[in-house]
């Protein structure tokens, strides 16, 4: 199994503060994102990822996010196997200290 690239919550926060264009995908369930998600993140539930693959572009790198980092790691392995560039946010939203907003 290929090792998946990771990013810490602090590293991600710094990149966002510096205005880097990042493609964030929150794979938590609806009731979890209702409590707040990173403002620029797109919500695609983990269970919906397989049928949503066409929404992703192979030339972009996606940062996957969940509550603790485990589900997003699984999604990263799946997406990596499909040929996508992926990064897992370690620690998930449990460790995120930055701004959040309710799902739009």
**Element spanning 26, H or E:** strand 23-26
76 catalytic per annotation: no
- pLDDT tens-digit series, residues 30-57: 999 999 999 999 999 999 999 999 999 9
Using the predicted structure, report yes or no on whether residue 2 has a pLDDT greater than 70.
no
Q: For residues 30 and 16, what is the distance between their CA atoms, to the nearest angstrom?
A: 24
Domain regions of the chain by residue span: 5-95
Comparing C-alpha atoms, which of 6, 9, 14, 104 is closest to residue 61?
Answer: 6
Tokens of 46: 């983990």
- pLDDT tens-digit series, residues 51-77: 999 999 999 999 999 999 999 999 999
The active-site residue out of 44, 49, 66, 75 is 66
Residue that has been written with the tokens 């797109």 in this structure: 42
Q: What is the CATH number of domain 5-95?
A: 3.40.250.10
């Amino acid at each position: 199994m290929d090792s998946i690239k990771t990013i810490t919550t602090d590293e991600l926060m710094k990149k966002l503060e510096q205005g880097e264009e990042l493609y964030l995908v929150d794979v938590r369930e609806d009731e979890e994102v209702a409590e707040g998600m990173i403002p620029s993140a797109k919500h695609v539930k983990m269970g919906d990822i397989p049928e949503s693959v066409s929404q992703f572009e192979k030339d972009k790198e996606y940062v996957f996010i969940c509550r603790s980092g485990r589900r997003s790691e699984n999604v990263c392995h799946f997406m990596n196997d499909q040929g996508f560039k992926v990064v897992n946010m370690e620690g998930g939203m449990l460790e995120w200290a930055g701004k959040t907003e309710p799902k739009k």
